[in-house]
Every structure is written in C-alpha cells, then in structure tokens.
Amino acid sequence: MVLTIILIRVHNGGMIICVCKAVSDRHIRSAVKGGATSLRDLTRELGVGTCCGKCLPEAKATLSATLDSRSESTVLAAAHAYFPRTGTEFAG
C-alpha cells in the first residue's frame, strides 16, 4: 500500500499539512509557539491526524523542525546575553 501526502501551497505562502482539517505549517508553528511540544498536542489542538492520518509524517517533521529552530534561537539568545560583542574582539 502506498501512502500519498498532498502538499498544497496556498496564496499566502503557507503549506497545507492536513487537508482534512485545513491545517497549515503556520498553524503548527503557532501551536508550538503557544506551547505544543508533541504530536499529541497538535492532534488535540488542531485535529491533525484525526481523519485519514496521511498528514502525520509531515506534521511530525514540521513540529520537529519548529522545535529545533526554537531551541537554536534560545541558545543563540542566551549566548549573546552572556557573551555580547563589544566590537573590540578583533582590534589589534
């Protein structure tokens, strides 16, 4: 059996991840920003995967990518707070 994932680009640049529930990658990123950290959270909040389930791999990938980018941003912000550049590091 071959599963087909349909990815539809909409006019605002977002990508529909779940056709059944009309959930885009932007919805998933927004849910993560609001505290979602698991596929179960996305299912409860957005209904992802509750109909046919074909969206689950792409929803999981989008969730992981969003969580990873959020972690990187947090690490970079912390690094800049502890090690601010003064502009004199390379003077000499």
Among all chains, which residue has been given the structure tokens 């601010």?
84
- Rounded CA-CA distance 26/17 in Å is 9
Q: Which of 6-15, 16-25, 37-46 has the lowest mean pLDDT?
A: 6-15
pLDDT at 72: 75
The whole-model pTM stands at: 0.69
Averaged pLDDT for residues 31-43: 95
- Rounded CA-CA distance 71/48 in Å is 23
Domains in the chain and their CATH numbers?
8-82 (1.10.10.1100)
